[in-house]
């Protein structure tokens, strides 16, 4: 058949058919065929359209290929169905597609769900060597690896292994159901097929309609589900009973694990380094259908991985590597107040985890220095932006510039802050205005501008607001500062409730006494200039003696994002004050009356 123009979700792609093993496979292609070829393989009960949003994002850099598995979408089904879906025959299909679309160069393989289960077969059998350049796996384990993983836990049980076995068994409930004769097919062609799009939207939060106005799932869904159950029947029991013991990947492998996957436990991949020596792990805050809900991040990781392999420098990441690297590599992180202290340490921590960093501060030279050092530490890219966070228009312009130049921010850290110390009656309206403009309004501007972009993108994100132990520890000497930080804490709690439904986490970080430069710029009210300088010197000396480094706060920030923590007191004194504020408020109010000596 001749090439045709695709319609629906794949509008703009070219479709052709490839004959293999008595079936015709519908293949769609995007992009420049002279560029490296990326083959995206869909899972169950999907068709190739599940990849449409990811494919569009990759097509400007690569030759992107999608195909409907046999019996799915516009591909024909084998006859008979029984025995027509073995991994061996699915491998034949893949090789036929690879030979048709990239006869002279190996392809980069990306699989989701059953596309990933197949991908493991393709990446580990001898007859595909030389036809695959890399493999990105998502939400689908190798059946041979899984069989050995299950046997190890069944034959050498420990409480932890039994728990893992039980947990994955619960997640795999549908596998047993699909081995039931006739009933699964009837459900897919009947009520389940009709209900599936709405169910997917409600449970997985997939968009009702694609970004280009095309319905997903497609009209072929009932047949796709009915045919696809044979992949389970033809392969699962046979492979789990007699798993291959030589299923080693002969290509670099990138594992993307959605942390909210309802069907595959992360523990299944505990020993994956044994089977894939050239392994990179990625952790994505998403559910099972991540190709629909998080196409930006997936396409970015795939593009980076493919490019590194093409350039001959594929990353290798051991299991002992930082969990932060798996979570943040390639993500875009913006940190305000990044010229020094907690902000600079946080920018460095994200850079070390492989994130792209934007250092923001009104100190232009300090922000530029942070960006330069971030690149040396490990950030694939880092930029600096001189901005006063208290200026609403400047923050609006910054948000627009960042979105246009670098993309939507994945993690926002509103860290910029200043100090004001002294009695309430000595604090002037100007002092109040200054501290609230930076400490509170700076956070509001950041949350409003960048938070809006996160929400509009619809692919989640995280906002971190630096509050303080003073937010829940009243003191007679910090009324303005404590009020600003208490407001930041409450703002964070309110935003967390509002944005949770959009997959955006919000954390309030509450450090205590941290060895930073804030004391050198703190305004001490109610005293003359000489006394103010003496108090700055004494405070700086005290903070130096406490010597709690900002790097520990930075680590707490990254950990808060990974765990999606709401309120994080950092230092021992901050944790103690937080406990007192909750369980002994009278005690903490009594402490607030004490006047610091000196």
- DSSP states of 500-528 as a string? GGGTEEEEEEE--S--STHHHH-EE-SS-
Contact 93, 116 (CB under 8 A): no
Euclidean distance between CA atoms 27 and 380, whole angstroms = 34
**CA angle (201, 69, 9) in 5-degree steps:** 45
Euclidean distance between CA atoms 232 and 180, whole angstroms = 11
Contact 131, 95 (CB under 8 A): yes
Please indicate whether residue 85 is annotated as part of the active site: no
Tokens (6 digits) for 501: 């439904």
Backbone angles phi, psi at 167, to 5 degrees: -60, -45
Contact 461, 410 (CB under 8 A): yes
Euclidean distance between CA atoms 18 and 159, whole angstroms = 50
Contact 249, 135 (CB under 8 A): yes
Euclidean distance between CA atoms 98 and 296, whole angstroms = 25
The active-site residue out of 216, 232, 481, 543 is 481
* DSSP element (H, E) containing 360: strand 356-361
Tokens (6 digits) for 311: 């350039």
Q: What is the CA radius of gyration of the chain?
A: 27
Report, as residue numbers or ranges, the catalytic residues. Answer: 481
């Amino acid at each position: 058949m001749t090439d045709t123009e695709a319609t629906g979700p794949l509008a703009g792609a070219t479709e052709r058919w490839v004959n293999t093993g008595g079936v015709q496979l519908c293949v769609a292609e995007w992009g420049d065929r002279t560029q490296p070829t990326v083959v995206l393989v869909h899972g169950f009960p999907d068709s190739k359209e599940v990849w449409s949003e990811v494919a569009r994002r990759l097509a400007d850099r690569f030759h992107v290929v999608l195909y409907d598995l046999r019996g799915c979408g516009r591909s024909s089904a084998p006859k008979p169905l029984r025995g027509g879906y073995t991994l061996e025959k699915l491998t034949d299909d893949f090789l036929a597609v690879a030979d048709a679309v990239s006869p002279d160069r190996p392809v980069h393989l990306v699989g989701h769900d059953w596309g990933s289960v197949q991908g493991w077969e393709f990446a580990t059998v001898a007859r595909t060597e030389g036809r695959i350049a890399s493999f990105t796996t998502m939400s689908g384990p190798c059946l041979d690896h899984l069989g050995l993983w299950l046997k190890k836990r069944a034959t050498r049980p420990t409480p932890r292994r039994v728990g893992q076995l039980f947990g994955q068994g619960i997640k795999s409930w549908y596998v047993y159901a699909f081995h039931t004769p006739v009933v699964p097919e009837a459900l897919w062609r009947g009520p389940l097929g009709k209900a599936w799009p709405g169910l997917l939207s409600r449970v997985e939060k997939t968009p009702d309609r694609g970004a280009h106005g095309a319905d997903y799932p497609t009209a072929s869904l009932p047949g796709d589900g009915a045919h696809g159950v044979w992949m389970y029947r033809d392969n699962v029991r046979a492979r789990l009973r007699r798993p291959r013991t030589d299923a080693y990947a002969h290509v670099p492998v990138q594992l993307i694990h959605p942390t909210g996957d309802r069907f595959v436990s992360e523990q299944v991949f505990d020993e994956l380094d044994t089977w894939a020596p050239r392994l990179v792990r990625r952790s994505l805050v998403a559910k099972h259908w991540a190709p629909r809900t998080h196409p930006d991040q997936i396409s970015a990781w795939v593009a980076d991985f493919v490019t590194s392999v093409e350039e001959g420098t594929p990353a290798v990441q051991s299991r002992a590597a930082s969990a932060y690297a798996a979570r943040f590599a390639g993500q875009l992180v913006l940190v305000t107040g990044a010229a020094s202290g907690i902000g600079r340490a946080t920018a460095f921590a994200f850079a070390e985890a492989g994130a792209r960093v934007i250092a923001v501060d009104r100190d232009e030279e300090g922000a530029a220095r942070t960006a330069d050092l971030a690149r040396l530490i490990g950030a694939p890219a880092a930029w600096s932006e001189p901005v006063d966070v208290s200026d609403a228009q400047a923050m609006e312009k910054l948000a627009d510039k960042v979105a246009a130049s670098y993309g939507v921010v994945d993690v926002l850290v509103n860290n910029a802050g200043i100090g004001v110390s002294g009695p309430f009656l000595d604090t002037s309206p100007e002092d109040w205005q200054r501290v609230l403009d930076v400490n509170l309004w700076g956070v509001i501007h950041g949350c409003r501008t960048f938070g809006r972009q996160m929400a509009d993108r619809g692919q989640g994100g995280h906002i971190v607001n630096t509050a303080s132990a003073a937010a829940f520890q009243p003191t007679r000497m910090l009324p303005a500062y404590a009020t600003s930080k208490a407001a930041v804490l409450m703002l964070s709690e309110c935003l967390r409730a509002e944005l949770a439904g959009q997959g955006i986490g919000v954390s309030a970080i509450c450090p205590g006494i941290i060895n930073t430069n804030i004391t050198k710029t703190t305004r001490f009210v109610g005293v003359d200039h000489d006394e103010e300088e003496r108090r700055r010197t004494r405070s700086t000396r005290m903070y130096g003696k406490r010597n709690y480094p900002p790097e520990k706060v930075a680590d707490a920030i990254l950990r808060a994002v990974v765990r999606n923590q709401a309120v994080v007191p950092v230092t021992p004194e901050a944790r103690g004050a937080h406990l007192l504020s909750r369980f002994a408020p009278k005690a903490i109010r009594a402490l607030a009356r004490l006047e610091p000596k000196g």
